[in-house]
Structure 1
Amino acid sequence: MIVGRRWGDAVDSWVKKMQSLVGYRTFTVLTIVITGLLLFLLLINGVRPEKYDIQEFHLSTETIRSIKTVEDPVKTEEERQRAASEVSSVYQFSEEIGENRAAIVTSVIDYVLEEKAESVESLAPMEEQVSDLKENLNVLETDGEGIRFTDGALVSLLLLENESLINLRDSLTASIRDIMSKPIRSEQVANTKNEIERRIRGNLEIPESVLPTAVLIGRYSINENETLNEELTQARIEQARASIEPTRILQGQVIVQEGQIIDREVYRQLKLLGMLTNQSSMKPILGLILFISLCMWLLHMQMTKWRASKEERQRTLLVVMLILIMSVIGMKLISLVSNNFDVSIAFLFPTALAPMLVRSLINERFAVLMAFLTAAIAGIVFQEGYSVVLQMEIALYLLFGGLAGLYVIQGAEKRSHLLQTSLSVAVVNFVFMAFYLLMTQSDYGVSELLFYGIAAITSGLLSGALTIGMLPFFESAFGLISTMKLIELSNPNHPLLKKILTETPGTYHHSVMVANLADAACESIGADGLLARVGCYYHDIGKTKRPGFFIENQMSHANPHDSLPPETSRDIILSHGSDGAKLLQKHKMPKEIIDIAEQHHGTSLLKYFYYKAKEEGQSVNEEDYRYAGPKPQKKETAIISIADSVEAAVRSMKHPTAEKIQEIVHSIIKDRLHDGQFDECDLTLKELKTVERVLCETLNGIFHSRIEYPQ
């Protein structure tokens, strides 16, 4: 312990030297930057993807899995091409084409009938009839396409009887409608024309003389009536391509088994994944830099928002950073040997160690932040080669365990209570482990289940045991004081408290009364009531050097100050603060307790002996009758200074009443405020009002009126 104290003094001396050399802001930034660099060096290997020095058409020396999920563009395009090739062309059938062709045939025969009727009246020769008929049939041409009749074919139609022409017309249009009612594509037109020719030639009702002309008309009438819809076909092709999901190489997917040939396809996939040694990427490194920067920024913001002295902030920053680095080193040591086991030994890491340490040494807000930071970092440290960014089960395991430790440790007042806290953490770890094993839906053997159960319990117990073991180190090394340390110092069996009790019993009683007042006042404004209480127990320990010169220890003895000059009495009274600080330093007491003993009078004026010297006609300097200080630097010390004066003043009153107590408390606070004793601490006027009210209430409870019992 002595070595720890010496090392602690060296650390404290180094911190002060750095503060004087570089200043508060530079020291803070430098500490954060150095911590960030250390974290980067510790985590960089965990985020670098695994690379393989391999060549095509060689045997793989190990089984290689994908380290991430990526889209395979080559396979995706192949699948889309296959889907597009399977899309059938879309054809559009039109019934109107068949009706139009039948109408043309009807018109041809009708023109022949009309020409025959006109020739009967005009007695026109056959040549003129053929010429007129050709001119009329030219009107039926569509897009330059029409029936090319020979003169003989037209003569054969003109020579046919009207009845036969009508039968021919009806027979041809019926056949055309029947055939054209079915879809006919371009490649089917020739066969369909042959089919109608067979029908016409097989129709015995058609005269032999017009059979060639009927075949000519029938074959002309057949055309495609189902055409390709290119726009709709292309739309279906695009739809088919879009319906194909991208082909992905999944994380953890086996790319090549050990002993297999690394063909072109395997080599292409490894290149796509960036797993070859000739490929390098800065993305993971830049991502890690951003992650560490975010962590350090959160710590810096938490430090900035914390209302404490610069010295305390710097000391706290060093503690937090050291605990964080030590936690990461512990994680790295476990991760280095984890490959030698078939189970995940990461679950052995003490989940609540860092948060419980920070909670015991600093406060809960820093501890909550530490719980989140260690959980996130653990997710990176313990991630497997083919996991995502974080190993989420480990991160959640540390987060739940750490938060559980924080909530349970709030009631811990002794170091032995930390073991009880660790049992609660073990239970939470065990419940989370059960959740994890059930959610994985894997079949575990009895030995594996037993390991994970023991790991969860061991992690919780280690959290408490290591916290107990490391607390004294941090307390002595950085001059910090934990709740448990304060509880130990409040034990009446402490040698210094025994010294006060036996040598200055009046001072001891006064200290206990001041402790009650200061504790209640501090709690009312959110200050550390326990620190104030313990500080009060030791604040007047300097009076043990000359007990009889202080009124509360004189009992029935005469007051020695009656026979001493004012300046001698002044020196004795003023020295009790510095004497107490020296005695506490000699016994290696925490700095907070020493500061309370040294600062609880600030630089206030010793009025009694100052005015006594003036009454004797001496030429006195007011500064000579003021305490050496410094002024209170913390709320707790300022409140103790008020409670100290208030308790002595009220105790000296013969018949204290609520009105008199209110008046004296208000007067003392007002005097200290006007004297500038609170200028160096962050005690607000609103808080002073609250302190005044609580002190009056507590004093009224202590010095309440009592019934006078009859003799």
Structure 2
Amino acid sequence: MQKKVKKISDYIGFRYFLLIVLALTGLVQFLFMHSNIQEYTYTVEELQLAPETIRSPKTIVDEAKTEQDRLLAAEQVEPVYTFNESMAKNQAAMIDSFFGYVTDTLTSSKDGDTLDDKLEQLKKRLSSIDEKQFPFRFTDEQLKLLLSQQVTDLEASRALLSKTVGQMLTKAIREDDIASIQSRIEQTVRMQSVFPAELVNIIVVMARSSIVETETYNEDMTDARRQQAKNLVEETRILQGQIIVQEGERVTKDIYRQLELLGLLNDESNIRMGIGLSVVTILQMCVLYMLFNQWGATNARKQNAVTMVFFVYVLGLALLKILSFVADEFTVHIAFLFPTALTAMLLRLLINEKVALITSVLMAATAGVMMNTQYGAVMSAEVVLYVLFGSVTALLYLRTGEKTSHVLKACALVSTMNALYIFFYIIMTQTTYTVEELVFYASAALVSGMLSGMLTLGLLPFFESGFGILSTMRLIELSNPNHPLLKKILTETPGTYHHSIMVANLAETACEAIGADGLLARVGCYYHDIGKTKRPAYFIENQMGKNPHDDLPPDESARIIIEHTTYGAQLLAEYKMPQEIIDIALQHHGTSELKFFVHKAKELGIEVADGQFRYPGSKPQTKEAAIISVADSVEAAVRSLKDPTPEKIRTLIQSITKDRLLDHQFDECDISVKELKQMELAFCETLNGIFHSRIEYPKD
């Protein structure tokens, strides 16, 4: 799998490879989610019987019904009328004024004035008055009749008529009431004996003309009150889950309108859902794109990580799909069986914590959509939180270690967290649960946690072998002294075994000091000299007597020494060891020169060809390999020192590091001079602890 992925990625480039994998991941996610949330539309007509009970998939405002209710509320508001209190005084004053003009004409006339002269004077007085303000209109004969009366009779008539009109107008009179009030005041006038009989008809005309509306329609206030009544009417909502029509019920015009409003009579709702799912899927894939595009790892590591995220993510989607298939068969929330920490633990062990956390968040959101049981809701918040709590719990605990025991303990902790969360869910839902349901939820919490661990431990070897991943758990397994190769080193080359342990201590400390992988360095050191098992006696740490190189020409000795790197790599490959361990075995001497045998050859007069006494390499490609190469030489050199002191040790370490640097052994890895200084300091501290001064005990 690793080779195929690398071949494809190298051919099209990592960025295009990333886009293709994420597009495929997004497509799988979209198809899984869409089949879970797809809404159904209905083929119904007005007045036919509903084929099934139809509920509202969402909460929506029914604008038409709301407007209808508001118009009805406005119509129920009574019109507002304004009462004019001054109208009675105004009309009474008008009557007084008219009679005043008549009496003034009579009192101001001369003795010789005829009735016609008095009429002309009265008409002259009346002509100066606005017709709108003085509605009385009489013929000349009627005016003459008034002028022929005694002033005292006129004053009595004026007072009574003014009082009668004033009393009538103190009550609310609307336009529709005027006719009836006029008839009433006419009857009142005709029943009064105070009025001269010849003036009754004139006074009736005046009385009827004086009756006007005292309460007028106030359009502004009426409109304001009706608007207020409209505003008090709340919006009519069709609630999510509300039954629109029962199975077998007649689909009325109003019900049909509601179905149209909810989009249940066409495919518009499904199209909108598809667009929404496309948007959220694209957003999720964009997050993953930014994660991998900005990651500073090598393309080889990133392409493996992207592919593994694809398989783990699709695995989680498949499990969710299986649960969603059977969810309708249960009354309990079956989503709580989902292994919440599976994605987090697998990606944490295979890649790193950051990738695991972000992918787990995306998985939680997807689980919320796919396992949503609320009719018409976007996602199930309780499922999202359930997956998040489980994932984060596992990630936090795995910071303490990555052994199998740590994974199992993390699963137990996840099960506990799941149980606490489900307890919270049961309490907050305020629903009465049966004993069987409570047992199911308790079991689901345990199953979710345990299933997370079982699947993680079960799938981890497949990913490691398929992608050549050297996980922490794999490294810990390789560090077990019972491993066949480590037993081979211990039994066949005990000196090399001890040397490897010492180098491992130095390399691990230095790697941790500069932020490299200390565990990889330690395990790599255990196996880096496995090639010495072919001819152990030719290496000084395994020699107990005569050195066999004393009887060999320098070029033959060099060939035997150099061979231990290539033979070691072949042996590791036969045992299917991880490539990182094989690379360390090949690179721990880089292309350095065997100076001892070069010097010996020159002493013997043997011509030394360029590269004849150098290791084939390659040069260290990683920080771990570079540090191991220095640690290997430092351990052997310090062990040969007589009376080692901190100063001697420091000088020796600096000399070896400088020699490797000048020999360009670090040119192909990204280790810096600053990190080399930190490495030297770590070596000094470790070796000073080993070669510290000891108390000389008395012999007796």
Task: Output the TM-score relative to the length of structure 2.
Answer: 0.91
Contact 2:344 2:395 in 1 (8 A): yes
Structure 2 CA distance for aligned equivalents of residues 331 and 78 of structure 1: 46
**Is 1:229–2:226 an aligned residue pair?**
no
Once the two structures are TM-superposed, the CA of residue 112 in structure 1 deviates from its matched residue by: 2.7
Go from structure 1 to structure 2 and tell me whether the alpha carbon gap of 1:69 and 1:280 turns closer, same or farther (over 3 Å shift): closer
Which range is displaced more, 233-242 or 325-334? 233-242
Structure 2 CA distance for aligned equivalents of residues 49 and 558 of structure 1: 87
**Is 1:389–2:373 an aligned residue pair?**
no
**Is 1:79–2:69 an aligned residue pair?**
yes
Equivalent residues in 2 for 1:259-270 (5 A)? 259-270=248-259
Equivalent residues in 2 for 1:12-23 (5 A)? 12-23=2-13
The residue number in structure 1 matching 2:429 is 440
Go from structure 1 to structure 2 and tell me whether the alpha carbon gap of 1:333 and 1:155 turns closer, same or farther (over 3 Å shift): same
Contact 2:94 2:134 in 1 (8 A): no
Structure 2 counterpart of 1:425, from 374, 399, 414? 414
The residue number in structure 1 matching 2:450 is 461
Go from structure 1 to structure 2 and tell me whether the alpha carbon gap of 1:515 and 1:638 turns closer, same or farther (over 3 Å shift): same
Structure 2 counterpart of 1:632, from 620, 623, 633? 620
Query: What's the % identity of the aligned pairs?
Result: 49
**Is 1:31–2:40 an aligned residue pair?**
no
Structure 2 counterpart of 1:371, from 338, 360, 373? 360
**Is 1:324–2:313 an aligned residue pair?**
yes
Secondary structure at 1:255 match in 2: strand
Contact 1:72 1:249 in 2 (8 A): yes
Go from structure 1 to structure 2 and tell me whether the alpha carbon gap of 1:54 and 1:216 turns closer, same or farther (over 3 Å shift): closer
- The residue type equivalent to 1:191 in the other structure is S
- The residue type equivalent to 1:27 in the other structure is F
Go from structure 1 to structure 2 and tell me whether the alpha carbon gap of 1:330 and 1:162 turns closer, same or farther (over 3 Å shift): same
Equivalent residues in 2 for 1:465-504 (5 A)? 465-504=454-493
Contact 1:49 1:385 in 2 (8 A): no
Once the two structures are TM-superposed, the CA of residue 368 in structure 1 deviates from its matched residue by: 0.8
**Is 1:401–2:411 an aligned residue pair?**
no
Contact 2:39 2:270 in 1 (8 A): no
Go from structure 1 to structure 2 and tell me whether the alpha carbon gap of 1:571 and 1:100 turns closer, same or farther (over 3 Å shift): farther
The residue number in structure 1 matching 2:235 is 246
Go from structure 1 to structure 2 and tell me whether the alpha carbon gap of 1:704 and 1:211 turns closer, same or farther (over 3 Å shift): farther
Structure 2 counterpart of 1:135, from 91, 99, 124? 124
Structure 2 counterpart of 1:116, from 92, 102, 106? 106
Unaligned runs of 5+ in 1: 1-10
Contact 2:630 2:656 in 1 (8 A): yes
Structure 2 CA distance for aligned equivalents of residues 674 and 96 of structure 1: 117
**Is 1:694–2:691 an aligned residue pair?**
no
Structure 2 CA distance for aligned equivalents of residues 635 and 192 of structure 1: 113
Go from structure 1 to structure 2 and tell me whether the alpha carbon gap of 1:191 and 1:476 turns closer, same or farther (over 3 Å shift): same
Structure 1 CA distance for aligned equivalents of residues 194 and 470 of structure 2: 124
Structure 2 CA distance for aligned equivalents of residues 138 and 606 of structure 1: 142
Go from structure 1 to structure 2 and tell me whether the alpha carbon gap of 1:611 and 1:486 turns closer, same or farther (over 3 Å shift): same
Which range is displaced more, 479-488 or 168-177? 168-177
Which range is displaced more, 670-679 or 491-500? 670-679
- The residue type equivalent to 2:206 in the other structure is I
- The residue type equivalent to 1:397 in the other structure is Y
Secondary structure at 2:400 match in 1: coil
Contact 2:336 2:441 in 1 (8 A): yes
The residue number in structure 1 matching 2:567 is 579
Task: Output the TM-score relative to the length of structure 1.
Answer: 0.90
Structure 1 CA distance for aligned equivalents of residues 658 and 119 of structure 2: 136
Structure 2 CA distance for aligned equivalents of residues 123 and 565 of structure 1: 178
**Is 1:336–2:328 an aligned residue pair?**
no
**Is 1:43–2:28 an aligned residue pair?**
no
Structure 2 CA distance for aligned equivalents of residues 154 and 454 of structure 1: 111
The residue number in structure 2 matching 1:189 is 178
Contact 2:638 2:644 in 1 (8 A): yes
Structure 2 counterpart of 1:643, from 631, 635, 638? 631
Which range is displaced more, 617-626 or 377-386? 617-626
Equivalent residues in 2 for 1:490-569 (5 A)? 490-554=479-543, 556-569=544-557
- The residue type equivalent to 1:572 in the other structure is I
Contact 1:47 1:288 in 2 (8 A): no
- The residue type equivalent to 1:127 in the other structure is D
Structure 2 CA distance for aligned equivalents of residues 386 and 69 of structure 1: 11
Contact 1:610 1:622 in 2 (8 A): no
Structure 2 CA distance for aligned equivalents of residues 500 and 30 of structure 1: 46
- The residue type equivalent to 1:250 in the other structure is L
Structure 2 CA distance for aligned equivalents of residues 689 and 193 of structure 1: 119
**Is 1:350–2:339 an aligned residue pair?**
yes
Structure 1 CA distance for aligned equivalents of residues 274 and 617 of structure 2: 53
CA RMSD of superposed structures (Å): 2.8
The residue number in structure 2 matching 1:291 is 280
Structure 1 CA distance for aligned equivalents of residues 554 and 17 of structure 2: 47
The residue number in structure 2 matching 1:6 is none
Once the two structures are TM-superposed, the CA of residue 164 in structure 1 deviates from its matched residue by: 4.8
Contact 2:36 2:324 in 1 (8 A): no
Structure 1 CA distance for aligned equivalents of residues 534 and 471 of structure 2: 29
Structure 2 CA distance for aligned equivalents of residues 453 and 142 of structure 1: 96
Once the two structures are TM-superposed, the CA of residue 314 in structure 1 deviates from its matched residue by: 1.0
Contact 2:554 2:598 in 1 (8 A): yes
The residue number in structure 2 matching 1:5 is none
Unaligned runs of 5+ in 2: none
Once the two structures are TM-superposed, the CA of residue 325 in structure 1 deviates from its matched residue by: 0.4
1:655-676 C-alpha deviation (Å, 9 max, x unpaired)? 4433444444444444444544
Once the two structures are TM-superposed, the CA of residue 159 in structure 1 deviates from its matched residue by: 4.1
Structure 1 CA distance for aligned equivalents of residues 594 and 99 of structure 2: 141
